[in-house]
Amino acid sequence: MFSGIVEKTAEVLNIETKQTNKIFTISNPYGNEIYIDQSISHNGVCLTVIEFDEQSYKVEAILETLNVSNLDMLGQGDIVNLERCVQMHTRLDGHMVQGHVDAMATITNISNKDGSWEVSIRIPDEHRALVIQKGSIAINGISLTIMSIMDNIVTVAIIPYTYEHTNVNEWKVNAKLNIEFDVIGKYVLNYMRRSQDVLK
């Protein structure tokens, strides 16, 4: 599990294709703290370290992961957000994030507010019930608070620290971002739908 508080950013150094999978070589900002079988969130996608040295490490994304996330769009030199899984004795500064991307969203607008930024994204219609004003959402692995909702357009505010220390500063209009909706909301919605089916 993750918290949506990005620890580091890193560069994609190389991408290999292996059958329907892709193996990403990522620059290693963690040095000797990294280990084989470690779970690390990459733009909000939980991937397992399969090889590493002090300069870089490798993770492998399967077809399902590539289909539902923006990892398949990554190129050499791109910057990804990184977060290692939370430890039970640490504070949960963001919200509960599983690293399981639900969908991709498209940036529709980025507005510089002279001290902050407002980013609007279009989420798929089928996920509209999973967002609420002032609720949490993970975007490219970043825990953010929903500022406003209009139809299926969700707007979040970005503080300077987040802008400077994540790949938010690389975002452009029409770019695709990984979205993970709040897991509690997903369970509640599923329960309500199943309860309604039982009552029919």
pLDDT at 200 over 70: no
Q: Tell me: the pLDDT tens digits for 61-78?
A: 999 999 999 999 999 999
Residue pair 32/38 in contact by the 8 Å Cβ criterion? no
**Is the pTM higher than 0.95?**
no
Give the other-Cβ count within 10 Å of 57's Cβ.
25
Q: Is the pLDDT of residue 199 over 70?
A: no
pLDDT for the residue numbered 51: 97
Rounded distance, CA 125 to CA 102, Å? 13
Which tokens sit at 188?
A: 């509640």
Residues 84-90: what's their mean pLDDT?
Answer: 85
57 versus 193: the higher-pLDDT residue is 57
What's the average model confidence in pLDDT over 186-195? 89
Residue % of the chain over a pLDDT of 70: 98
Whether residue 41 has pLDDT greater than 60: yes
pLDDT tens digits for 156-166?
A: 999 999 999 99
Neighbours of 41 (CB within 10 A): 29
The residue count of the chain comes to 200
Ramachandran bin of 5, using left for φ above 0, alpha for ψ from -120 to 50, beta for the remaining angles: beta
Query: Residue 170: is its pLDDT beyond 60?
Result: yes
Who's near 142: CB < 8 A, 6+ residues apart? 4, 6, 44, 81, 162, 166, 168
- Taking the CA atoms of 187, 93, 90 and 99 in sequence, report the sign of the dihedral they define: positive
Give 196's DSSP letter: H
DSSP H or E stretch at residue 17: strand 8-18
Identity of the amino acid at 32: N
Report how far residue 121's alpha carbon sits from residue 135's, in angstroms, rounded to the nearest whole number: 15
User: Which tens digits make up the pLDDT trace of 100-115?
Assistant: 999 999 999 999 999 9
Q: Domains in the chain and their CATH numbers?
A: 8-84 (2.40.30.20), 103-194 (2.40.30.20)
